Each structure stands twice: as C-alpha cells, then as structure tokens.
Amino acid sequence: MLKNLSLNITITIAILIGITIPVSISTWYFLSNQKKYFEIEIEKKIDSISTLNSQVLWYLSSEWAEIIVDSLLKDKSIVEITLYDDQGNVFLSKYEKSRAVGELISISRPLEVNNKKVGKVKLVINKLEINEQIETEKTRAFQLALFQVLLALIILMPLMYYKVLLPIKRLVKQSQKIANNKLDKAFVWNRTDELGTLGRRLEYAREEIQTLVQELQESANKDPLTNVYNRRFFTEVTNSIVKKLKRDKKSFCILIFDIDDFKQVNDSYGHQIGDKVIIDLSKTITSKLRQSDIVARFGGEEFVVLLQDTDIINANNIAEEIRKSIELKEIKLEDNSTVSYTVSIGVTEVTRYNKSCIYESIKRADDALYKAKEKGKNIVECIV
C-alpha cells in the first residue's frame, strides 16, 4: 500500500511521524511517571516549608511563623501545617477544615539550622488537589508540545514544498515530456543541489534525444545518395504546400527531370560513375533553385521539383537554364577522362483554378517529360 502513495503524501506522513513520535513518547513518559511527579511535587512543598520554618524556630518568632504559615496555606493542596519546637511541643498549628476532603497524606520532617535540630514540621496534604495541580501541569505540557508540533509544521511544510516537492514535481513533468517525445521545451535549472543536478542531466538527455530524433527524421526524409528529399517526403509535404498556395490564390509549377540514356552511362562506365552523374544532377538542380523550392529524388535517375509562387513562363526559364548548364558540364573521372550527360524536363503549371491534387500535377509533368523524350531528348516540354 505504501509503495502506491505519492511522494507528496509520503513526505508529509514522514514529517508528521517524525514530529509526533517524540511528542507522544514524552507525553507517555509524563503520564506513566505520575507517581514520581506526585512525590517530587510534595518534596518541593516540604523543602520550601522546612527552609522557611527552620529559621522561625531558631529565632522562636511567632509573628514570623504566623506570616509564613499563612502564606504557605495559600496553596490549596495544604490542609494543615504544624510546627514543633526541639522539645516536641506545638509551636504553631494551622488547619483548613474545608480542604480536608478526599485522601489526605501526612508527612513529618525535622527542621535544622546549621546541622542542629530546632524542631519539626508536620504537613497534611490533600492528594486530590495535588493531582489536579499535576493534571494542570500536564495539560500545559501537552499544549506546549502541540504548539511545538504546529510551529514545526508551519516552518517545515513550506520549506519541504519549495525545496523538495516542487522541484520533484518539475522533474516528473520534465521526464513525462521526454517520455511523450515533447522535446521542444527546455527546462532551466539554477539550483546547485542534487535535484538541480538531476534536472540538468535530464535537460542534457532531452537535447541529445532531440538531436537524435531530428537526425533520424532528416535521414528518413532524405535520399541517402544525393541528400535531397525522397519521394515519400515530397508527396507528404507538398500536399499541404499546394493547399496553402491555392488558398492564397498563387500558382506553382512541377518540374520532372530524367537523365537521357542513363542505362548507357551505367553500361559504359559502371554504376559507381552512374551514381556520380545522379549526384551531380541533384547538386546542379539545387544550386539553381530558391530556398522555398523543394527538390526530391523520385526514383532512379528521375528528380521532381516544386516551384512555389511561380508561373509557367518562369518555370520554363528555370528548367531551360538547368538543362543548358547540364549540357555544358563534364564530370571528371579518376583516370582524368570525362563523362557528360543531358536531361529531359517536363513542366506543368497549377493555378488556383485547377482543382487537381499533387499526384495529378506530377502525372501531367510526367506526360510532358514523355513528350520531351519523344521529341529527341535534351529539351524542356511544357503542359499547361
């Protein structure tokens, strides 16, 4: 059962137990030693009476004896005080009849001055009254203990909350966000204690995980050979972009590139050189585009480009510029020989009036590419 309790409740229980157990033990000890406290209380009374009356009997002053005894009888637990001289004769006796109820205790004690016996005192005490005084003292002691407990709680609880519970709640929230892959929010820890160290380590772990996740997402979206986007990511991201462009009443164009006679390149030079040609094409296309444009390898030697906020005329000009740049290029090989290649490009425009989706737009660009191949390759063909 205890293992299922929250940390807040567990710490609160621990504080309460830690405070109440000592108080409870003290109270129990006080109650279990009531007889001892009773005897101590009586000893106090006898000592005070003996000290005062020894001097009185030494000087045999009846006036002072009257004053002292009257003063002592203000204690309601004392029923009778009798003073005897050194011959055993009654020197003074005072008796409060109204207090002589319940169990009475009679105690005698010799009186001495400078180790010389000068008489004795007999004291009759009402046990019930003594017990009431002891109960009053116990009540005061209990109230004091309770006050100390409350004071300790008032001091400790806010301290525990701000120094322990609140940071632990923040640590739990921080770990939950990491567990739920919500890695965008950073947690700053300025504390120098153990909880602050733990928080900073969690923050370091969050940064590491965030970097790793970004790298994984990036690698999942990129073509490993050319480092441009892959087909899956292109279709996913362009769908939302196309919707926004149409909503904003803007045109966009799709370009599809295909290396002419690429099979001959592979057959003549090998697949390693074929990969170099594909990488060169991706770099050439990327270098001619804006940051807002999106290029992806669509498969094999085929690339697709989305030109945002671009009409068919500008798209044709961009495609023609890329085609000419590739036509004039020569890729230098390790044996100092060179290889050149050309591309055919299909272009299509999608306006706000065109209700086609991205897949239909790509299909039209692919049709334009097919026409370019039919017309002799190394050309740009447009379909509106």
116-126 and 78-85 beta bridge pairing? antiparallel
Using CA of residue 281, residue 283, residue 289, residue 293, what is the dihedral sign?
A: positive
pTM confidence score: 0.53
Residue linked to tokens 């990129």 = 222
Q: What is the pLDDT of residue 38?
A: 52
Q: CATH fold of 2-130, please?
A: Beta-Lactamase (3.30.450)
Q: How many CB atoms lie within 10 A of CB 32?
A: 9
In the chain, list all ranges with CATH 3.30.70.270.
Answer: 229-383
Nearest to 83 by CA among 114, 126, 50, 34: 50
Taking a C-beta distance cutoff of 8 angstroms, is the pair 111, 53 a contact? yes
CB 50 within 8 A of CB 82: no
> Where are any strands of DSSP class E within 133-278?
229-230, 252-259
State residue 39's pLDDT score: 56
Rg (CA), the chain: 51
> Tokens at residue 84, please?
């005897």
Q: What is the pLDDT of residue 286?
A: 93
Q: What angle do CA 193, 195, 199 make, to 5 degrees?
A: 120
What topology is assigned to 229-383 in CATH?
A: Alpha-Beta Plaits (3.30.70)
Delimit the CATH 3.30.450 region(s) of the chain: 2-130
- Alpha-carbon separation of residue 192 from 189, 197, 198, 284, 354 (angstroms): 8, 7, 10, 53, 62
Low-confidence ranges of the chain (pLDDT < 70): 1-20, 22-62, 113, 129-131, 133-134, 351-356
Quote the pLDDT of residue 3: 46
The pLDDT value recorded for residue 57 is 46
